[in-house]
Amino acid sequence: MTTGGQSGSLFGAGDSALGYLYQIRLALLASLRRLARGQIFFLYLETLDDVTFEPSGSPLELFQLKHHIRSTANLTDASPDIWKTLRVWITGRSDGTIPRDARLCLVTTSPVTDHAVAAKLGLKDRDETGAVRVLSEVASTSASADNAIAYGLFLGLSATEKLDLVSSITIASKADNIGEIEQGLSEYARTAVRRDVASSFLTRLEGWWMVQCQKHLIAQSMTPISSTALESEIDELRDQFLIDALPVDDDILEADVGLAAYEDAIFVHQAKLAAIGPRRVLAAIRDYYRAFEHRSRWMRENLLLVGELDKYERTLKEEWMLVFDRAVDELGQPAAEAELTKAARAIYQWVETSCFPIRPRVGNPSLSRGSLHMLADKGAVGWHPQFRERLEALLASRPTA
């Protein structure tokens, strides 16, 4: 990859963050387009090339990416983009790491002139014999020190080997830059889900893809990313953006939430009034966090209908009131502390075992429990039959600011 500067390994894989983002996003867009054609494949990053596709039943397809953000100059016949790429491919074919039948593609954001070697190796109107002639002439006459090794490797090939190499190469010039890749991804998202949720859908798809790419690279690219995994993730995400669903995000579900930040929260005191154990208190904190973060995210992304949260909380309070009033009615008058605690624990058990989804397909019960804890934090509901009096006493005992 190239992003205006060049650094890195022997063959110059740039280490720019923008370059890697381009690589990952282009790989995603290319994968989505292959899925649309019904292709089954495996994807590798940073193995034989920047991006490698292994289609089922077809030769490998290797992509070398050259992304330029500051230069709009034409891709010349002596361009380092071409010759450093040829150096990689000739070396790989020679030592057997790149199969002879592999399809090789140089993707560059640079434009080309009509008679350049890059134009002779485009997607149409190809002139492979002419390309061999031009490349041989450049390698024989150019004084470029940067390209010297590549020139020597190319000139060392036989005429048949040169034509065989060039016949396997496609140069895709004036390719989409990183902004245009983003536009292409956005266009895909608008075809996958409703337009009003397309941005949220794409954010989650790209987040999942980034995680898969990171795992792939950390594992030194040994385990490929499969088209099956990508298709399954798309299907799962699409279901979360149906009209009767909302997205439930793993980064929130998997967050490590401790007691310290919530120790003085009203909902924690409410849970403790039910005389539950410390692990159940931690579960209450986890559920509160999940509900709070999801609801906040849904609001930020405009995924909720007008008044939907108010309606949902009204439903929760009505359900709570039935359980709470029934428990209070069953108490003797006056009730002993043990009876009050027993009633509180019964009500709290209802909290833990009930599930009232905000929409029919939002089935994670922790969001329902957490929403009840959010109401408890406001004092709108409670578990102990005397929760209002106990909370008033608690608040009165706290020092004023």
Pick from 123-137, 148-162, 211-225, 349-363: least confident = 211-225
**For residue 16, what pLDDT is reported?**
62
215, part of any domain: yes
Q: Is residue 5 part of a domain?
A: no
pLDDT given at position 292: 99
Q: Domain check: are 167 and 48 in the same one?
A: yes
Q: Is the pLDDT of residue 275 over 70?
A: yes
- Which of 191, 213, 238 is the endpoint of a domain? 238
191 and 233 in a common domain: yes
Q: Quick one: 203 and 299 in the same domain?
A: no
Q: Which of 62-76, 77-91, 268-282 is predicted with the least confidence, judged by mean pLDDT? A: 62-76
Domain span at 144: 17-238
Q: Is the pLDDT of residue 113 over 60?
A: yes
Residues 21 and 130 in one domain: yes
Is 278 inside any structural domain?
A: yes
- Tell me if 8 is assigned to some domain: no
- Closest C-alpha to 245, from 363, 355, 374, 356: 363
Same domain, 258 and 295: yes
Does the pLDDT of residue 71 top 70, yes or no?
Answer: no
Structural domain includes residue 245: no
User: Is residue 89 scored above 60 in pLDDT?
Assistant: yes
Question: Would you say residue 82 has pLDDT above 80?
Answer: yes
Of 179, 210, 238, the position where a domain reaches its end is: 238
On the 0-12 / 13-18 / 19+ scale of CB atoms within 10 A, 174 is middle
Overall average pLDDT of the 91-120 stretch? 94
**Domain end (from 238, 268, 293):** 238
Q: Is residue 11 part of a domain?
A: no
- 165 and 130 in one domain? yes
Residue 99 lies in a domain: yes
* Same domain (yes/no): 31, 153: yes
Q: What percent of the chain has pLDDT over 70?
A: 94
Using only the alpha carbons of the chain, give its radius of gyration: 31
Same domain? 63 vs 201: yes
CA distances 384 to 302, 323, 339, 351, 401, Å, are 36, 12, 10, 12, 28
Burial of 36 (0-12, 13-18, 19+ CB in 10 A): exposed
The separation between CA 96 and the C-alpha centre of its own chain, rounded to angstroms, equals 34
Q: In terms of Cα–Cα distance, which of 325, 326, 304 is closest to 371?
A: 304
- 35 vs 15, more confident: 35
Tokens of 121: 């190796």
Q: Is residue 2 part of a domain?
A: no
Rounded Cα gap, residues 87 and 106, in angstroms = 12
For residue 176, give the amino acid letter: D
287 and 316 within one domain: yes
Q: How far apart are CA 217 and CA 224, in angstroms?
A: 10
CA torsion angle for 136, 141, 146, 148 (degrees, to 10)? Answer: 60
Rounded CA-CA distance 344/338 in Å is 10
List, for residues 146-189, the tens digit of each pLDDT value: 999 999 999 999 999 999 999 999 999 999 888 899 999 999 99
Position 2 pLDDT exceeds 90: no
Q: What is the dihedral angle through the alpha carbons of 163, 167, 168, 170, rounded to the nearest 10 degrees?
A: 130
Distance from the Cα of residue 235 to its chain's centroid: 14
- Do 231 and 279 lie in one domain? The reply is no
Do 109 and 198 belong to one domain?
A: yes
